[in-house]
Amino acid sequence: MDYFEYRDGALWAEDKRVTDLMETFGTPLYVYSAKTLRRHYNAFDEALGGLSHLACFSVKANSNISLLRLLGRLGAGVDIVSGGELHRALTAGIDPGKIVFSGVGKQAHEIREALAAGILMFNVESVQELEHIGRIAAALKTQARISIRINPDVDPETHPYISTGLKKNKFGLDMRDAADAYLLARDHPAIDPVGMDCHIGSQLTRIGPFVEALEKLLAFADRLARSGVGIRYLDLGGGLGITYNEEAPPLPADLGRAIAGALAERDLTVILEPGRAIAGNAGILVTRVLYTKKTRAKNFVIVDAAMNDLVRPSLYGAYHRIGEVVPGGRESMMVDVVGPICESSDFLAQDRMLPAMEPGEGLAVFSAGAYGFTMSSQYNSRPRAAEVIVDGERVTLARRRETYQDLVALEM
Ligand SMILES: Cc1ncc(COP(=O)(O)O)c(C=O)c1O
Ligand SMILES: N[C@@H](CCCC[NH3+])C(=O)O
């Protein structure tokens, strides 16, 4: 559910006409809906309502600081994976006590920065990393709160590039190794093992894998308790999918219900790290048609957005619904929607039925609020798109369009 809809013959973002946004801010343009973001965050908050909980938005999905600030004001914590994301979160005013730090390759300076900020915990992914954090915390005369990321070997049934909880993936530790890591953590004066976490993959469309992972983690937590390691936080990661096309993923409430029973009698704070499910359908990428071109093999609609703006179709073959900004009632035809970049993989859609388009007309690429701008680049020296947040009738420029000057600003 989102607040991008067609009425009076045009596409609206909440109470703003998308054509007006195109006029004011140009294209390509990322447009986020504040109402949708609030709705999605609140859905998680309410889904976990009966439990002690924390919803930590995954910053990698969308790291714009205006958007983070909006979520932070609702009470959101965040899941970060770098010093850069920590900097963004703190700049956006996120409570450091609600920050969890994931990722397999945390660097010394990032660990120091996170300790100095007083984050809730590090989600530790290897024994070497645990020892490294311990050394740094000891040198700083502090204690690092940690959880160990468990690789529960659960099949998330998603795209292989975005599944993370299988034995063959680089993430987390298997339980036998994790048990040793917890004992090391228990006995380390500068480490406080407060939690356990996992993240099994992204764009999950079934509840089963979450429940399976939870059950494995709880059984493991019970074994650990007998070794004198009592955890207080259970972090199930992110991964709940969204509807891009015809998927029918469970709602946050379904996930909440599915895990509530197992957690009810336990003195644990449950953490979720949703990214896509909060931001994905809260954003669209608006682009303008430059040319149309009919070859002997295909019809191309050439637009001013490209794989540098939204790489998901090129990278994963991902489907994003595309619609006219002002429906013209013209007959549909099979087209490829492509960008100006010099790569054959530069497409936003392939073999898609779309109404015939004219140069200058607008198209909206839906479900672009997560892993859209954050995965963008300047490939082909294309300045990155602007980002705006619409809240009712109010529009905030959340990031200005890059300029040619920005392209070369760091070069000597
Ligand atoms: C550790 C961790 N937490 C949370 C997320 C967010 O995932 P999603 O956007 O699928 O909710 C990811 C990315 O998949 C991740 O790697
Ligand atoms: N970037 C991916 C998801 C990977 C999630 C990061 N762990 C996507 O666009 O779907």
Residue 399 counted as an annotated binding residue: no
Ligand nearest to the CA of 77: 1
Residue nearest to ligand 2 atom 10, measured at CA: 371
Last residue of a domain, one of 279, 306, 332: 279
Q: Are residues 256 and 135 in the same domain?
A: yes
Distance separating alpha carbons of residues 131 and 383, to the nearest angstrom: 42
Ligand 2 midpoint to CA 158 (Å)? 11
Distance separating alpha carbons of residues 85 and 275, to the nearest angstrom: 14
Residue 316 counted as an annotated binding residue: yes
Distance separating alpha carbons of residues 108 and 191, to the nearest angstrom: 16
CATH no. for residue 224? Answer: 3.20.20.10
pLDDT in tens, 261-320: 999 889 999 999 999 999 999 999 999 999 999 999 999 999 999 999 999 999 999 999
Q: Would strands 283-294 and 29-33 be described as parallel, antiparallel, or unpaired?
A: antiparallel
Ligand 1 midpoint to CA 141 (Å)? 32
Distance separating alpha carbons of residues 274 and 240, to the nearest angstrom: 7
Residue 263 burial (CB < 10 Å; 0-12/13-18/19+)? buried
- Ligand 2 neighbour 373 (Cβ under 6 A): no
Task: Count other Cβ atoms within 10 Å, centred on residue 164.
Answer: 20
- What residue type is 322 in one-letter code? I
Q: Are residues 86 and 54 in the same domain?
A: yes
Residue 182 counted as an annotated binding residue: no
Decide if 290 contacts 359 (C-beta within 8 A): yes
Decide if 267 contacts 231 (C-beta within 8 A): no
Residue 239 counted as an annotated binding residue: yes
Ligand 2 midpoint to CA 312 (Å)? 9
Q: Give the CA angle between residues 235, 241, 242 to the nearest 5°.
A: 140
Q: Are residues 253 and 377 in the same domain?
A: no
Q: Give the CA angle between residues 354, 357, 359 to the nearest 5°.
A: 150
Q: Are residues 38 and 127 in the same domain?
A: yes
Q: Are residues 271 and 306 in the same domain?
A: no
Q: Are residues 55 and 12 in the same domain?
A: no
- Ligand 2 neighbour 88 (Cβ under 6 A): no
Last residue of a domain, one of 279, 298, 321: 279
Task: Count other Cβ atoms within 10 Å, centred on residue 119.
Answer: 25
Distance separating alpha carbons of residues 365 and 342, to the nearest angstrom: 21
Distance separating alpha carbons of residues 394 and 15, to the nearest angstrom: 8
Question: Which ligand 1 atom sits closest to the C-alpha of 162?
Answer: 14
Ligand 2 midpoint to CA 162 (Å)? 6
Rounded to 5, what percent of the chain is helix, strand, coil?
30, 25, 40
CATH no. for residue 338? Answer: 2.40.37.10
Q: Give the CA angle between residues 175, 177, 183 to the nearest 5°.
A: 100
Question: Which ligand 1 atom sits closest to the C-alpha of 273?
Answer: 4
Residue 250 counted as an annotated binding residue: no
In total, how many domains does the chain have? 2
Q: Model's pTM, two decimal places?
A: 0.97
Among candidate residues 264, 342, 408, 412, the one labeled active-site is: 342
Q: Are residues 136 and 154 in the same domain?
A: yes
Distance separating alpha carbons of residues 4 and 163, to the nearest angstrom: 30
- Ligand 2 neighbour 162 (Cβ under 6 A): yes
Decide if 209 contacts 145 (C-beta within 8 A): no
Ligand nearest to the CA of 200: 1
Residue 312 counted as an annotated binding residue: yes
Three-state DSSP state, 332 = strand
Probe target for ligand 2 pocket from 285, 316, 348, 377, with the most ligand atoms within 8 Å of CB: 316
- The DSSP secondary-structure symbol of 325 reads S
pLDDT tens, residue order, the chain (412 aa): 899 999 999 999 999 999 999 999 999 999 999 999 999 999 999 999 989 999 999 999 999 999 999 999 999 999 999 999 999 999 999 999 999 999 999 999 999 999 999 999 999 999 999 999 999 999 999 999 999 999 998 888 777 666 666 677 778 899 999 999 999 999 999 999 999 999 999 999 999 999 999 999 999 999 999 999 999 999 999 999 999 999 999 999 999 999 999 998 899 999 999 999 999 999 999 999 999 999 999 999 999 999 999 999 999 999 999 999 999 999 999 999 999 999 999 999 999 999 999 999 999 999 999 999 999 999 999 999 999 999 999 999 999 999 999 999 999 9
Q: Are residues 95 and 234 in the same domain?
A: yes
Residue carrying structure tokens 């009738």: 393
- Ligand 2 neighbour 312 (Cβ under 6 A): yes
Distance separating alpha carbons of residues 9 and 329, to the nearest angstrom: 10
Full domain range(s) for residue 17: 4-32+280-408
Taking the CA of residue 62 as centre, how many other CA atoms within 13 Å lie in the half-sphere pointing to its CB?
35
| Strands (E) located in 295-341 | 299-303, 322-324, 332-338
Q: Are residues 61 and 208 in the same domain?
A: yes
Q: Are residues 290 and 264 in the same domain?
A: no
Tokens, residue 387: 């980002």
Q: Are residues 298 and 358 in the same domain?
A: yes
Kindly tell me the sign of the dihedral angle through the C-alpha atoms of 350, 356, 362, 363.
Answer: negative
- What residue type is 80 in one-letter code? I
Catalytic residue flag (residue 342): yes
Distance separating alpha carbons of residues 36 and 42, to the nearest angstrom: 10
Residue nearest to ligand 1 atom 4, measured at CA: 238
Question: Which ligand 1 atom sits closest to the C-alpha of 61?
Answer: 9
Q: Are residues 293 and 193 in the same domain?
A: no
pLDDT in tens, 146-194: 999 999 988 887 776 666 666 777 788 999 999 999 999 999 999 999 9
Closest CA to 263 of 196, 218, 199, 231: 218
- Residues composing the chain: 412
Distance separating alpha carbons of residues 387 and 25, to the nearest angstrom: 9
Last residue of a domain, one of 227, 248, 279: 279
Ligand 2 midpoint to CA 371 (Å)? 6
- Ligand 2 neighbour 288 (Cβ under 6 A): no
- Ligand 2 neighbour 104 (Cβ under 6 A): no
